[in-house]
Amino acid sequence: MTATFEWIDTDSGFADVCKEAADAPLYAVDTEFHRERTYYPHLALLQLKWEDTTVLVDPLVVDMAPLADLLASDALPLLHAADQDLEVFRRVCGVLPGRMFDTQIVANFAGFSTPSLAALVERIVGIRLPKGDRMTDWTRRPLTDGQRTYAAADVAHLVAIRDHLIAELEPTGRLKWAEDECRSSLARATSPNDPATAWWRIKEARQCRGTARAIAQELAAWREARAQQTDVPLRFVLPDLAVAGIAQAAPATLQQLNAVRGLSGRGLRGDVAQEILEAVARGKQLPPEKLRQPPTDDLEREQRPAAALAAAWVAQLAKYERIDATMLATRADLTAFLSGSPDARLRHGWRAELVGKPLAKLVAGEAALVFDGNGGLLLEERSGVPLADRL
């Protein structure tokens, strides 16, 4: 069946749409945007569906302010892989929903492994979504019929997917876990990025030590701020390799700066070069207590065997529980837990019961990890009797 939808390209039409959707118990929402050459995502299309109505909104000509009222309403928004959509909402109207149902997150608790929307629709609804060009230009007007059909399909089946997932998870008690995870995802989107931790996302910078780490922190924070001010991608301001190279070289002059590996022959001049040198100087003078250490640094040597055992058990537990292993516990989660961090995710909520408490027994020597005879692993109470004593 071909989906029918309405094209909205007037302010009054969009205001009416938002009021109608806000009166519904729930609505499906998706966005199409571009950010290949910008820091911020630039909204090019908004898709909405509630009850039997589907609309495509043209944000290139429509004032998006009424979207704030819809997001703030009691209606529940349904999204798939919502992280970037939430960033778009914050950018275009300054508001995030108070709650949400992210079908990708929830599906992880029903045996799907971080599924795409197309995969969920095919497995749950039995329909193949129309294929679209991943490189399509959503800012082009008029959009083709194929583009519009493809965009409308992104919200056409979210209600059916939600109903299926709820029916599967509610009897097992996992629906609450999934809803908690949706709330956590929304909370992360609500919290602004801390420029002082921007360097954590640069692999080469995390390998720095001593003063180089402090320089990396100050330089990455400067890069983040400049990218925001000029609305260009971080790599256009300074590549990751250049951030790490400058941190290691700690240049004090323009000549030293331009000799740093990673600048790809680009000559830095004017305010950019001066601001980089100032960031380097700040890093050199940064007090040790002001350095924001990444929470996932390597464990102490004696804890590494425990991390390996824990990772093996989590992988087995994920198979048994039919939950994606990265949803249960990432390496960063295991490291934070084994390091004793009180903020470790494995110490809170559903993860504490399912993963944290059993893992604490394993680390304390109260439990043992054994083969179950079928190629799997089993965590069981430890006997305390060495095998040699039984022979």
> Is 32 an active-site residue?
yes
From 27, 30, 102, 179, active-site residue: 30
Reply yes or no on whether 194 is catalytic.
no
Of 27, 58, 85, 102, which residue is the catalytic one? 85
Active-site hit among 58, 154, 179, 224: 154
Going by their DSSP bridges, the two strands 367-371 and 53-57 should be labelled as unpaired
Task: Identify whether 372 is a catalytic site residue.
Answer: no
Active-site residue, 30 included: yes
Q: Which of 32, 181, 224, 333 is catalytic?
A: 32
| Catalytic residue check, 69 | no
150, 179, 181, 333: the catalytic one is 150
Instruction: Give the residue numbers annotated as catalytic, written as ranges.
Output: 30, 32, 85, 150, 154
